[in-house]
């Protein structure tokens, strides 16, 4: 058994419940952390996370400069420092908490995150084997087993790239939403289309939701990847939903410049997805490519709400969803907010010297609270190679 004090984080960042949400956000950004323990005096009384700030303040139209932390905080799960590794795992399983504060006599001693649990599980493996290589293999197996049993890791969905599957631990997590972000030309679109192509090859249902794209252009992209997607259109396993279709004119558009994003605009999406989910018991892949364009037309808060609603609907239908978002100047707040809606986020970058980098910012329910950096290359045949970059810097 490993006592909590041996793997908990001792340096816990806190904030007063009467401080403003803006102060909390600035502290998180400065310290590169995703949460703060809320205190009343010196006693811990809650926790505030990036998700709390997004959902309870920004998306609710509240002013972070005037909103106090206590209005946005969440319940803080606590455990005694006398407990051990398995006690924390059991608590996380029971409560669904991603972070547990170590408290005794109303005094805060530390905090345990899911990342700390993984590190502790590796330590548990050390005495079991002498061969380091075998230890690594067994440790990975233990993590996978523990994740399945206690942290709810589901099966993975093949991305279409062996290299990407490897760094993601098998592929995109099933029934989750992933944001692909980056500048035009970084390759995120090719990754998304390859993901759809692989799904069609496996006999799965695939839906592409876009804004103002020509059907012929979409077919050309698939053709460049070696697939005649028209065959799958006729078979009913590939569906295109155009969110703003004045150019093509032969399918129903969902909203126009004068309209707000609302529930009623779900019509054709719901109809298409329901028909696929009901008629064929096959896995469902969805790619959504309208976020950036929608933010030009609509108030970003309306777009966030629409994506939240869409996300909940698609995941309830068992879909594994990839979203596009183009990055640019002045979009950092929008990107961060959209990341919080998603279960995972991958950033693709092309630097001035020509090198390309990919950052796995998060990938629920996989346990990594620290971004993982990789260099990558995507050639004209859409072949992808990925290498880890431990010391990669942004820029």
Residue the block writes with tokens 């012929």: 216
Quick count: other Cβ atoms within 10 Å of Cβ 353? Answer: 6
Q: In what order do the strands lie in the sheet with 99-104?
A: 78-79, 99-104, 107-113
pLDDT at 71 over 70: yes
Listed in sequence order, the residues at least 6 apart from 118 whose beta carbon sits closer than 8 Å to its beta carbon are: 143, 367
CA 176 to CA 193: how far, in whole Å?
A: 17
The pLDDT > 90 percentage for the chain reads 33
CA distances from 149 to 92, 118, 134, 152 (A): 11, 13, 22, 6
Listed in sequence order, the residues at least 6 apart from 268 whose beta carbon sits closer than 8 Å to its beta carbon are: 241, 251, 252, 254
pLDDT at 130 over 50: no
pLDDT of residue 183: 85
pLDDT at 278 over 70: no
pLDDT at 392 over 60: no
Mean pLDDT computed over every residue of the chain: 80
pLDDT digits (tens, 9 = 90+) for 144-167: 544 444 444 447 899 999 999 888
pLDDT of residue 332: 66
pLDDT digits (tens, 9 = 90+) for 4-58: 888 899 999 999 999 999 999 999 888 888 899 999 998 999 999 988 898 898 8
pLDDT of residue 281: 58
Task: Please name each of the domains of the chain with its CATH number.
Answer: 4-119 (3.10.580.10), 156-388 (3.40.50.300)
Kindly tell me the burial class for residue 10, based on how many C-beta atoms sit within 10 Å of its own C-beta (0-12, 13-18, 19 or more).
Answer: exposed
Length of the chain: 395
**Residue 5 DSSP one-character state:** G
**Residue 345 DSSP one-character state:** E
| Token representation of residue 240 | 């295109």
Choose the most confident range, by mean pLDDT, from 137-141, 210-214, 375-379: 375-379
pLDDT digits (tens, 9 = 90+) for 285-305: 999 998 887 777 777 888 888
Quick count: other Cβ atoms within 10 Å of Cβ 382? Answer: 17
Listed in sequence order, the residues at least 6 apart from 80 whose beta carbon sits closer than 8 Å to its beta carbon are: 4, 102, 103, 104
CA distances from 255 to 212, 263, 304 (A): 12, 11, 16
CA distances from 284 to 174, 290, 363, 388 (A): 10, 19, 19, 30
Full-model pTM:
0.60
| Token representation of residue 212 | 């103002």
pLDDT of residue 204: 92
pLDDT of residue 1: 62
């Amino acid at each position: 058994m490993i006592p909590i004090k041996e793997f908990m984080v001792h340096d816990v960042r806190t904030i007063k419940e009467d401080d403003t949400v803006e102060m909390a956000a600035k502290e998180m950004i400065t310290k590169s952390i995703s949460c703060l323990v809320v205190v009343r005096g010196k006693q811990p009384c809650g926790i505030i996370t990036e998700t709390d700030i997004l959902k309870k303040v920004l998306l609710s139209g509240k002013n972070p400069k005037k909103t106090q932390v206590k209005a946005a905080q969440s319940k803080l799960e606590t455990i005694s420092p006398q407990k051990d590794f398995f006690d924390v795992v059991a608590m996380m399983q029971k409560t669904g908490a991603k972070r547990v504060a170590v408290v005794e006599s109303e005094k805060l001693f530390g905090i345990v995150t899911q990342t700390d649990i993984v590190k502790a599980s590796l330590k548990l493996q050390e005495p079991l084997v002498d061969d380091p290589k075998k230890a690594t293999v067994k440790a990975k197996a233990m993590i996978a087993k523990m994740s399945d049993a206690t942290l709810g890791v589901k099966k993975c969905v093949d991305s279409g790239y062996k290299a990407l599957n490897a760094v993601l631990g098998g592929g995109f997590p099933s029934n989750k939403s992933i944001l692909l972000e980056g500048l035009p030309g970084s390759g995120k679109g090719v990754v998304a289309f390859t993901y759809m192509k692989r799904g069609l090859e496996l006999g799965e249902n695939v839906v592409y939701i876009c804004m103002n794209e020509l059907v012929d252009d979409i077919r050309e992209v698939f053709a460049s990847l070696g697939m005649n997607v028209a065959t799958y259109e006729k078979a009913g396993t590939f569906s295109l939903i155009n969110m703003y279709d004045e150019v093509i004119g032969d399918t129903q558009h969902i909203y126009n410049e004068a309209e707000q994003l609302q529930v009623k605009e779900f019509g054709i999406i719901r109809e298409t997805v329901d028909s696929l989910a009901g008629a064929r018991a096959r896995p469902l892949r969805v790619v959504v490519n309208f976020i950036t364009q929608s933010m030009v037309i609509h108030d970003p808060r309306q777009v966030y709400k629409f994506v939240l609603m869409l996300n909940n609907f698609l995941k309830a239908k068992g879909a594994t969803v990839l979203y596009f978002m183009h990055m640019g100047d002045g979009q950092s707040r929008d990107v961060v907010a959209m990341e919080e809606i998603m279960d995972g986020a991958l950033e693709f970058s092309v630097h001035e010297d020509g090198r390309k980098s990919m950052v796995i910012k998060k990938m629920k329910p996989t346990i990594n609270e620290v971004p993982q950096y990789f260099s990558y290359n995507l050639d004209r045949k859409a072949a992808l190679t990925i290498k880890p970059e431990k010391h990669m810097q942004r820029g």
